[in-house]
Structure 1
């Protein structure tokens, strides 16, 4: 007889961290967003939230990428000796291919070798991993949600690498007494009886999973209008970001957010949410500026972006002539003997 699997902490039971949870959900709906890097001090539930999220999306695999992993372990390898006997190179999948359909998690991503970060970012952006050895290449699907966590006190990611993550989220411990008490209450209840705790949160967990599944079905039908594209371009230009990566990330994220809320067309609120997640690590700022994007900055950037275009005044239409059989009645209104007052319009 086998024991039931030990349940992890439910995603729905995580207190706070709303921006991080939304960033993960949008990446699940549209993995081409490019993942999320989570910056924050230790003890802010970064790992707990990521693990809970992986369990939420249909039991998708959660693959941990260790800091000491070799390139072959990450990307995969080709055994060229088999070419001589079989005519084909034997492919050994790496962690990127193993994460296909799930979550690739890199703790302390800022300490990972740059060439490995490049490899996993390439896979996250294209949805596949390609190995080339001595003129022979092999490609495998590698569509996953990339999540990197880091403590800035241990060193920063190079700006060129940070820019390649779709989203960046800052997390911090809450100072709210009630929230801190709620965090302790839920954590202690989970540790006392994980199975019971997971069962108590099962309804909320199943509802979230169902909403994600529906959004993934809808996302391909969401309309991104020219008006919305212009608004996105205006936002990115106003924040003076380099290149067009931010524009594309915001476009994909806005579509995903529209699908998340069940809409079939991108609206201003979708662009606003996407910009809040995609711009903080990309906008140019002075050394002493606070990180993030403020509501006032977004209001100014989006001001007028979704206004209805002014229409040229139309000349007044000519009044319609009366029908030949229309005769004025006794009170001056046009009418006919059979049907009463009628005009063609």
Structure 2
């Protein structure tokens, strides 16, 4: 088992900054790293458009976080909301806990995963015989404060998607069995990808993803050649290929760290907030999630570009990603490409 793990860790990942095109998908992922409260991103696109390559490339850029050593939930030493009950108890008892730095984790959720594997299990025998809450953490525990990636999310069992979205929205996972209940923090960025030909997600599930990125096959022949050549050189000598991108990767990593810091200072004018809600209202967007996500994503974009004030241009760039999957549509129509959203934006903002 450990050999497989080491092999996976040493297997080079395609550099994020080497990915050509697909700007919409890259932007949505980066904004979620800056502000995980955006609520994740759903990436829909044709087969072979680099969806999973891009998501996995994000791992390299993820900044480090402080965690309690040997804790299966990546508990935050400074935030009780992101601590397991055990850690909270130990801190109450004034125990000194070792704190280490660890890269933000990214967990892959396999398609055939069972609910026990995802949520964790309670060992009832041990609980009854020894009187302890014997809990075997699942993937949601590992994903706390990290990214949970589900490839082909539209093929995942609906019940499991509900479980994931509930945890992502509440930030907690609760496992109950035979009257024993255990809760732990499960705050993660949910990233789903899928091919629209294999079926869309139910609208109420789609709405729970903060952003929706659509990607298509690159049509420009020169760009296609560039992508093919890049892939070939990466496959031939991955380490050498990665070295060429060391500087751009470090630069982007630093930019993300600074943006996460700057985010709390970013402001969005009241007038702009009203206009965002006006657009949501004109588009008949149900609920307020669209308004909230657009505000958050605009602030993240401003922080990413090193500014502490949101501009109308920031909103224009993120609003299609935040609203296109929330529009009411004819069941036979596919999700809007964003044109309808941009049209209303221009009208409201007199752009």
The TM-score normalised by the length of structure 2 is 0.80
Gaps of at least 5 residues in structure 2 are: 1-5, 64-102
Q: State yes or no: 1:265 paired with 2:309.
A: yes
Provide the rounded CA distance (Å) in 1 between the counterparts of 2:128 and 2:335.
Answer: 60
1:227, distance to aligned residue in structure 2 (A): 2.2
Provide the rounded CA distance (Å) in 1 between the counterparts of 2:201 and 2:15.
Answer: 30
Q: State yes or no: 1:62 paired with 2:106.
A: yes
Q: State yes or no: 1:230 paired with 2:277.
A: no
Gaps of at least 5 residues in structure 1 are: 305-345
Counterpart position of 2:232: 188
Counterpart position of 2:188: 144
Provide the rounded CA distance (Å) in 2 between the counterparts of 1:249 and 1:95.
Answer: 26
1:93, distance to aligned residue in structure 2 (A): 1.2
Counterpart position of 1:331: none
Q: State yes or no: 1:284 paired with 2:328.
A: yes
Counterpart position of 1:200: 244
For residues 207-266 of structure 1, the C-alpha deviation after alignment (integer angstroms, 9 at most, x for no partner) is: 111111111112122223422321221111121111111111112212211211122232
Q: State yes or no: 1:303 paired with 2:308.
A: no
Provide the rounded CA distance (Å) in 2 between the counterparts of 1:289 and 1:87.
Answer: 53
Q: State yes or no: 1:293 paired with 2:342.
A: no
Counterpart position of 1:29: 34
Task: Mark the structure with the bigger radius of gyration.
Answer: 1
Counterpart position of 1:160: 204
Provide the rounded CA distance (Å) in 1 between the counterparts of 2:335 and 2:39.
Answer: 24
Instruction: Tell whether the 8 Å contact from 2:325 to 2:335 is kept in structure 1 after alignment.
Output: no
Counterpart selection for 1:39 from 38, 44, 59: 44
Counterpart position of 1:174: 218
Counterpart selection for 1:116 from 134, 154, 160: 160
1:284, distance to aligned residue in structure 2 (A): 2.4
Instruction: Tell whether the 8 Å contact from 1:37 to 1:169 is kept in structure 2 after alignment.
Output: yes
Higher helix proportion, which one?
A: 2
1:97, distance to aligned residue in structure 2 (A): 1.4
Instruction: Tell whether the 8 Å contact from 2:299 to 2:310 is kept in structure 1 after alignment.
Output: yes
RMSD: 2.1
Cα distance change of structure 1 residues 132 and 220 upon mapping to structure 2, 3 Å threshold: farther
Provide the rounded CA distance (Å) in 2 between the counterparts of 1:271 and 1:99.
Answer: 30
Look up the SS of the partner of 2:338 in the other structure: coil
Provide the rounded CA distance (Å) in 2 between the counterparts of 1:281 and 1:68.
Answer: 26
Provide the rounded CA distance (Å) in 2 between the counterparts of 1:303 and 1:222.
Answer: 24
Cα distance change of structure 1 residues 256 and 138 upon mapping to structure 2, 3 Å threshold: farther
Look up the SS of the partner of 1:81 in the other structure: helix
Q: Which has the higher contact order (CA 8 A, sep 6+)?
A: 2
